[in-house]
Chain A
Amino acid sequence: MSSKLLDFHKKNILTVLLSAVFIWSLFSVQWGPDLFHPGGQAALGQMMQGLLQPDWSPAILRLALSAAWTTLAYAVAGMSLAIVIALVFGVLASGVLASTRTARNVQVIGFRGALGFMRAIHELVWAWLFVAAIGLSPFAGIFAIAIPYGGILGRIFADMLQDVPEEPITALRAAGASRLQLLCYGYVPIAMADMLSYLMYRFECAIRSSAIMSFIGLGGLGFQIQLSLQDLRYDQVWTFLLFLIALVVLVDMWSQLLRKRLVA
């Protein structure tokens, strides 16, 4: 009886314990005037002022538009390649095509491992590697997005394919469907809505990454933000940031539309 009671309270005890550890950790912070950089407040004020009055001059708008276009182009190209990687590796990593248990285990472990390798390395690191290897070419940026995003998407696709309900698959198998037919008449159509919705979310992330990527000199919104920051032109920084936000919001709206059509 008492062991059952202990089991019941296990989670609560852990919660109390972890909360206590967190509170205790606050004591190691040296509270005082040195905690914040004293000159920071002025910079913060300037930034806020920039937000209130972004630079809407035509020259900056033109620059922001073309930079946003570059950022979007890198994201789209990178994601297109990532989708191809994710579909091939994801299907294989889900093991739904394997004929025997052993083949399935080998496939799942092998391809999940490969996907793990791709996404374990951050896109910025991939970008440095590719710039070192092929120079400051657009391909460096595209590959740097495609590989880690392919790894992330592929892993989630594999999970989604594995979580497909069994009944329709069993029924298709009983109707004489081969494994490839099961994939295109069962697994993929069932998982499609979820896969697409996750893909759109990752597309948003790819736009962010693509903007950051341009810090290493590939052009785009991030590059412009960096230049303006170096000039301490916060009003321009905000113009570019607002363009970045607009891009992400637009993609989100598009994804909502798509999902409504798929789920309805």
Chain B
Amino acid sequence: MSDTAMFAMKQVSKSYGSAYTLHPLNLHISRGELVALIGPSGAGKTTCLNILAGTIEPDAGLLHIAGKPASSYASGKHLAKAVGIIRQQFDLVGSLPVLHNVLAGRLHEWGFGKSLLSFLFPQDKHIAADALNRVGLSDKLYDKTSHLSGGEQQRVALARLLVQQPQAILADEPVASLDPARAEDVLAMLVRLVQEEQLTLVSSLHSVHLARQFFQRIIAIKEGRVFFDLPTADVTEDHITDLYQLTAGHGMDER
């Protein structure tokens, strides 16, 4: 495994029941790359991301994360130092103040005692304040999280990732529940932070437009296979049309 690989998949596959969700797949993502995963609903994007995140065990094949086999990450705490995840906006605990949601990114560093103490005397508060400052929410430190708008909540989730300090960020439709203007805003912020921290970003997206705008490389997945894997500049309209075209007997009944 070369040092530059953040994720390396070799013949990784996954099936639910008899049908393949993901056909044997080879994928190499280097450190510092910005990769968008696009494709029709149910094509296997989320499964692919979940395998990269280590939350789903592949049926077969090898996955290396940051140069080490995925199975060598003994606990969630070790994996959390390598990979951070952001999904749609239902990821936060609405009843807690923003501060504690952001500090949850430190839980992999903290013991249980320190985590409990933090409810009374917030620990590492400057780290959280700094992260919130970078996502433009420095005044929301003590606000109840459920009072924030959808876009603001996604930025809180970004702040939590900053506090977590992983080497790579996996984003599963991170802006799917936002309106177009806010979606672009949050995605721009995500990409900027990833570049500032020199992290790797792999994000699934509904919007081809956003994928083109923010990412260097686009991987298209269709029916559990890589449909194309190209630098953004080389992706043509024909590619996109072919990707989203409904084929007879497919497209509607897949998961």
Q: Could you tell me which A residues sit within 8 Å of B by CB distance?
A: 165, 167-168, 170-178, 180-181, 184-186, 189-190, 192-193, 262
Q: How far is the CA of A190 from the CA of B92 in the complex (A)?
A: 10
CB-defined contacts of B93 to chain A, threshold 8 Å: 168, 172, 185-186, 189-190
Contact at A177–B96, with CB atoms within 8 Å?
A: no
| A175 adjacent to B95 (CB under 8 Å) | no
List the one stretch of B73-81, B213-221, B234-242 in contact with chain A.
Answer: B73-81
Min CB distance A157 to B, Å, is 16
In the complex the two chains form, what is the Cα distance from A176 to B105 in whole Å? 8
CA distance in complex: A181, B108 (Å)? 9
B107 near A174: Cβ-Cβ < 8 Å: no
How many angstroms between the C-alpha atoms of A160 and B211 in the bound complex?
Answer: 40
> Residues of B with Cβ closer than 8 Å to A?
53, 55, 75-81, 83-85, 87-88, 90-96, 100, 104-105, 107-110, 112, 115-116, 119, 157, 160, 164
Q: List 8 A-B contacts (CB under 8 A).
A: A172-B107, A176-B78, A176-B107, A177-B107, A178-B112, A180-B115, A181-B112, A189-B93
Given A175-B160, A181-B115, also A192-B107 (CB < 8 A): no
Q: Which residues of A contact B85 (CB under 8 A)?
A: 171, 174
On whether the beta carbons of A185 and B80 are closer than 8 Å, the reply is no
Chain A residues near B112 (CB, 8 Å)?
A: 178, 180-181
Whether B95 and A193, one on each chain, are in contact in the complex, defined by CB atoms closer than 8 angstroms, is yes
Choice from A165, A168, A176, A180 contacting B80 with Cβ under 8 Å: A176
Residue of A nearest to B163 (CB): A175
Please, how many angstroms separate the alpha-carbon atoms of A184 and B13 in the complex? 36
Decide: A171 and B107 in contact? CB cutoff 8 A.
no
Closest 6 CB pairs of A and B: A176-B108, A176-B80, A171-B91, A167-B90, A177-B107, A174-B85
Q: How far is the CB of B159 from chain A (nearest CB, A)?
A: 12
User: Given A184-B115, A185-B100, are A175 and B80 also a contact pair (CB < 8 Å)?
Assistant: yes
Q: Which residues of B contact A186 (CB under 8 A)?
A: 93
- By secondary structure, the A interface counts as helix
* Contact of A185 (CB < 8 Å), options: B83, B109, B115: B115
Q: Which of A165, A180, A189 has the largest number of chain B CB atoms within 10 A?
A: A189
Q: A175 to B93, alpha carbons, bound, how many Å?
A: 13
Measured in the bound complex, the distance between the Cα atoms of B96 and A171 in whole Å is 15
User: For the complex, what is the distance from the CA of A167 to the CA of B115, rounded to whole Å?
Assistant: 21
**Which of A165, A174, A176, A189 lies in contact with B96, CB distance below 8 A?**
A189
Decide: B119 and A171 in contact? CB cutoff 8 A.
Answer: no
Contact residues in B for A181 (Cβ distance below 8 Å): 107, 110, 112, 115
Additional pairs, 7, CB under 8 Å, beyond known A168-B93, A175-B84: A167-B87, A171-B91, A174-B84, A175-B108, A175-B160, A190-B93, A190-B94
Complex alpha-carbon distance, A168 and B92, angstroms: 5
Across the interface, which residues of A come within 8 angstroms of B88, CB to CB? 167
Closest CB in chain A relative to B62 CB, distance in Å: 22
Counting chain B CB atoms within 10 Å of each CB, which of A184, A186, A262 scores highest?
A184
For B104, list chain A residues within 8 Å (CB).
172, 175, 177, 185
Q: Which residues of B contact A174 (CB under 8 A)?
A: 53, 55, 76, 79-80, 83-85
Which of chain B's residues has its CB closest to A192's CB?
B95
Q: Which residues of A contact B90 (CB under 8 A)?
A: 165, 167-168
| Residue numbers in A under 8 Å from B157 (CB-CB) | 171
Task: Identify which of A165, A172, A190 gathers the most chain B CB atoms within 10 Å of its CB.
Answer: A172
Chain B, residue nearest A177 (CB): B107
Q: What is the chain B residue whose CB lies nearest that of A180?
A: B112
| Minimum Cβ distance to chain A for residue B113 (Å) | 10
A178–B77 contact, CB under 8 A?
yes
The closest CB in chain B to the CB of A172 belongs to: B104
> Bound state CA distance, A51 and B183, in angstroms?
65
Q: Which of B92, B95, B116, B160 contacts A184 (CB 8 A)?
A: B116
In the complex, residue of chain A having the shortest beta-carbon distance to the beta carbon of B92: A168
Contact of A177 among B87, B92, B108 (CB under 8 A): B108
User: Which chain B residues lie closer than 8 Å to A171 at the CB level?
Assistant: 85, 87, 91-92, 157
Residue pair B164, A175 in contact (C-beta under 8 Å): yes
